[in-house]
Amino acid sequence: RCSSTSAKPNLTDTITINNKTFKRDDYTNITDKIVCLAQKSLHTTPHHPISLVRQRIVNYFYKTFLNSRRNPLFSVYDNLSPIVSLAQNFDSLLIPENHPSRLKSDCYYINREYLLRAHTTAHQAELIRAGLDNFLIVGDVYRRDEIDSKHYPVFHQLDAVRLKTKDQLFSCENDLKLFDCDDTACIPGGPTKQRCHTFEAFKLMEHELKTTLVGLAKELFGNQVRYRWVDTSFPFTQPSWELEVYYNNEWLEILGCGIMMQSLLTNVGVNNRIGWAFGLGLERIAMCLFKIQDIRLFWSNDSGFLNQFKDDDLKSPIIYKPISQHPQCIHDISFWLPEDKTDSLSFCSNDFYDLVRNVAGDLVEQVLLVDQFTHPKSGKKSLCYRIIYRHMERTLTNAEVNEVHQLIECAASDQFGVTIR
């Protein structure tokens, strides 16, 4: 049955991504499929819907924030390598060692030192250290996740940072201050303002951040958009909020934001400024704006998809017309876990989802865990996943789905030592 080797894990001891070569180690969990995706740059591909949303947001910032010579204040970084160190992605943002976002089950690690960035916030500290006060970062980000119409292992984010000095914040001459004390040690992610900030500095920053983001939501979704603020927490901002917009009868989270942790700024040598920051997801906005139902479409090379966005007027409304929906083809896969892997730590569903993506690519629309069962006598554990196959551009034949499904079975028994039932 196992005639193809394409599903086997790569056993060489190095891995090459975007012409850079890295040593594999016990942390490496990036798959060939993800290495391929890291070479596309959808957010800078002309007329691509992700790129259109980027342009609309960047233009909003260009026109909203001008310097004294009436030039745009914000600079844009959309070409930074997605390969970052753990120090960039986590440490520089005060993310603690034991934080769940560092788990191997959630990130694509290249090795113990490098990973594919899980958010564009990974570059924030280095750009501030380089002396920038107002900037946007746009790029592809990578997270291991479930498989369905709203989740894909790669998506795109846009981050912003704005730092202000005392004189920039309190424009008139007076004795207002940014800081009450030098104590930047706060419980990160708490719901109240940081102790070191004065109330008036904090309130003015919160006001500017929220007005900017509501203005952006209106620019994208129209003046009548319904929105709400939800309290949340991030290790790198305090307080922190999410902005949700009401769309298609549900509240949709479009971004996270907050007042930057002052210790993050002092760590990179900034002692006289207070900052706000946010990070938003471009796919979610594009899916709403253009009524795109399935996130895989962004990666399609089908001209029937891409040609619909070839409009030179950035603001003209585009509603994506689905290319005809082809039928689904559903197959279940059941297997016994090896006896030493019956706990949830040694086998996680994300490992299986990555294997499916690596073997079957975008032929798979969704994978669901439909059954788990532990044998009462032997203690052996069995899992059943349902794999829903559907091609975006044509009808799949039974024969080709059977072949791919068998490859998945072989790869699962090879890589995880499971026994297919």
Q: Name all contacts of 90-99 with Cβ < 8 Å and 24+ positions apart.
A: 92/122, 92/124, 92/125, 92/126, 92/264, 92/267, 92/268, 93/121, 93/122, 93/124, 93/125, 93/235, 93/236, 93/264, 94/188, 94/235, 94/236, 94/261, 94/263, 94/264, 95/235, 95/236, 96/235, 99/235
Angstrom distance (rounded) from CA 22 to CA 283: 30
Which residue number has the CB closest to ligand FA5?
281
- Considering beta carbons, is residue 283 or 409 the nearer one to ligand FA5? 283
H or E segment at 131?
none
Query: Which ranges in 95-236 belong to alpha helices (H)?
Result: 124-129, 166-169, 199-221
- Please pick, from the candidates 111, 157, 212, 349, the single residue that binds ligand FA5 as defined by CB under 6 A: 157
Which residue number has the CB closest to Mg ion?
256
Residue with tokens 């040609």: 307
- Please pick, from the candidates 255, 286, 292, 359, the single residue that binds ligand FA5 as defined by CB under 6 A: 255
Residue 148 touches ligand FA5, criterion: CB under 6 A: no
Angstrom distance (rounded) from CA 337 to CA 339: 6
- Per DSSP, what are the bridge partners of residue 279? 159, 256
Stretch of 169-177, 281-289, 363-371, 410-418 contacting ligand FA5, by CB under 6 A: 281-289
- Residues 218-237: x/- map of binding to ligand FA5 (CB under 6 A)? ----------------x--x
Residue 275 touches ligand FA5, criterion: CB under 6 A: no
- Considering beta carbons, is residue 256 or 258 the nearer one to Mg ion? 256
- Please pick, from the candidates 126, 145, 148, 414, the single residue that binds ligand FA5 as defined by CB under 6 A: 145
Closest CA to 241 of 206, 197, 275, 198: 206
Stretch of 150-158, 176-184, 191-199, 306-314 contacting ligand FA5, by CB under 6 A: 150-158
Stretch of 278-286, 307-315, 325-333, 352-360 contacting ligand FA5, by CB under 6 A: 278-286
- Please pick, from the candidates 121, 194, 358, 406, the single residue that binds ligand FA5 as defined by CB under 6 A: 121
Provide the binding-site residues for ligand FA5, judged by CB under 6 A: 119, 121, 143, 145, 151, 155, 157, 159, 234, 237, 253-258, 277-281, 283-284
